[in-house]
Amino acid sequence: MNRKYRKTVIAGNWKMNMLASEVKPFIEQLKENMPKTRACDVVLCTPAVMIPTMIKAGKECKVAAGGQDVSKYEKGAYTGEVSASQLADIGAKYCIVGHSERRQYHGEDDMLVNAKAKALLAKGISPIICVGESLEQREMDLTMEYVDYQVKAALNGIDATQLRRCIIAYEPIWAIGTGKTATAEQAQEVCEGIRAVIRKIYGARPARAVSILYGGSMNAKNAYELLAQPDIDGGLIGGASLKPVDFATIIAATNQE
């Protein structure tokens, strides 16, 4: 983290878990376990149907709500899709785009991720843009080339002012839901590399101001060490964000120098 230049963000990705009726009890428990002082923004990205409930309950302890996906289209005959204006209208402040599960199970490519990020920015929502390599790519030593490409493609046509609203999440696919975390050094190396790519495109200042999160089996035990890395500005947390005590512990782990 580097609080002098950028925000620290702890974001939970609930994926397709939980029920609207479980949101309030979750937030109550989170509040009970929350550290007294907090050095980060907290977001919970829920299934779209729960966003209004999360916004209402989250006010209790300053937790913002976000979506997990958005349509690239503004409106129209796209059955099942949710638009950026619809997310903005109910009060979502953030939305994940390009999660590896969307790329893998729904065939999303980098051009689509870019279009979705732009659709969100146009409505004032911060995209949390996910990038990350597969195990095969890491073993072939292609991690940085691949992640570079993903970052460049996702940010194509986004100007420096809009970049200020963007958050990048580095999520190595092999670490998601596997209990296998990247070591702090591995995660730092790639997050530093991502900042370098952004520096090449936008220059030093904008690059210094972008928050880059790590995601992939981040939990109450390993969060402190990961967050201690200079280029890791927070976490995108799956499994551990479903447990209020663990999630609060990760939030508390941002209270470090």
Q: What residues are annotated to the active site? A: 99, 171
Query: Are β-strands 63-67 and 41-45 bridged in parallel, bridged antiparallel, or unpaired?
Result: parallel
Across 154-185, b (16+ Cβ under 10 Å) vs e yields bbeebeeebbebbbbbbbbbbbbeeeebbebe
Helix (H) or strand (E) holding 57: helix 51-58
Length of the chain (residues): 257
On whether the CB atoms of residues 222 and 181 are closer than 8 A, the answer is: yes
Binding of ligand 13P at residue 193 (CB under 6 A)? Answer: no
Sequence-ordered list of residues with C-beta below 8 angstroms from that of 5, at least 6 positions apart, any chain? 208, 209
Q: How far apart are CA 65 and CA 45, in angstroms?
A: 6
Q: Token pair of 226, please?
A: 């990961």
Dist CA 188 CA 182 (whole Å)? 9
236 lines the binding site for ligand 13P (CB under 6 A): yes
108 lies in the site for ligand 13P, by CB under 6 A: no
- Closest distance of CB 74 from ligand 13P, Å: 26
Q: Name the one range near ligand 13P by CB under 6 A: 22-30, 115-123, 144-152, 212-220.
A: 212-220
- Which one of 24-32, 79-87, 204-212, 235-243 is the stretch in contact with ligand 13P (CB under 6 A)? 235-243
Minimum CB distance to ligand 13P smaller for 66 or for 215: 215
Binding-site size for ligand 13P (CB under 6 A) equals 14
Report in angstroms how near the CB of residue 216 gets to ligand 13P at its nearest.
5
Q: Would you count residue 234 as binding ligand 13P (CB under 6 A)?
A: no
Tell me which of 232, 239, 244, 249 binds ligand 13P, using CB under 6 A.
Answer: 239
Binding of ligand 13P at residue 127 (CB under 6 A)? no
Candidates 87-95, 114-122, 153-161, 214-222 — which segment interacts with ligand 13P by CB under 6 A?
Answer: 214-222
- Does 171 sit near ligand 13P (CB under 6 A)? yes
- Coil, helix or strand at residue 101: helix
216 binds ligand 13P, rule: CB under 6 A: yes
Q: Is 133 in the site for ligand 13P (CB under 6 A)?
A: no
Max CA separation in the chain (angstroms): 50
Give ∠ CA 229-232-233 in degrees, rounded to 5: 120
Where does this chain bind ligand 13P (CB under 6 A)? 13, 99, 171, 176-177, 215-218, 236-240
